Structure 1
């Protein structure tokens, strides 16, 4: 993913993908030329500077479907051996990370924030600034 100016960390993500032999799909690459050629506008695929909207998610879904269909159509019937991942490419700072929220984190003091039990995606039951 990228922002409305097509800034992202894709180069670092590509290095991680290469390191672990992961398949990669770039939403940025898929829409960049269309926007550059004035065939598509950023606000058609995103309602803010970064996150895809419904149509942006539709494009991502189509990219994934095409990618998976390509794999299915080219299966050779043989499995792959287990791969040893080795040391993390950019450090292990978040290797045991987990998302905490206002239901599972003991907070002793909160200033100018209220519990927000709605949130979005995996960030539900957090806090919002008043």
Structure 2
């Protein structure tokens, strides 16, 4: 299964995310790519099934708090890249911005979205913790109330 989208913006997944926010140029590019990909796949003929080694999938941890960010789901291993920040949520209130790379919450290292969720699962509502981000290559730490 493949998932294509044109990126996030400040109104992504909000009631104000209306049709004027559609990125038609990117949508056209993606549509062309998917069309060419589908054609290429259809011309390859039958592909024999190959069983792969089973891997343990990661369980999604349960958490009681939210930082209020829209993460990039790219697996970069250098931290959680933040595509968007929701107004009046802990991240915005602490000064975290879109484009920041989240690397640590308290003493918990953040490498990608899974470690981010694991870190959140250890936090209780009302806790205040230092959060470290990279902004334009510079490390910054701010206190966040969850």
TM-score of the pair, normalised by structure 2: 0.24
Higher relative strand content: 2
Higher relative helix content: 1
TM-score of the pair, normalised by structure 1: 0.26
**Could you say which structure has the greater relative contact order, defined with CA pairs below 8 angstroms and 6 or more residues apart?**
2
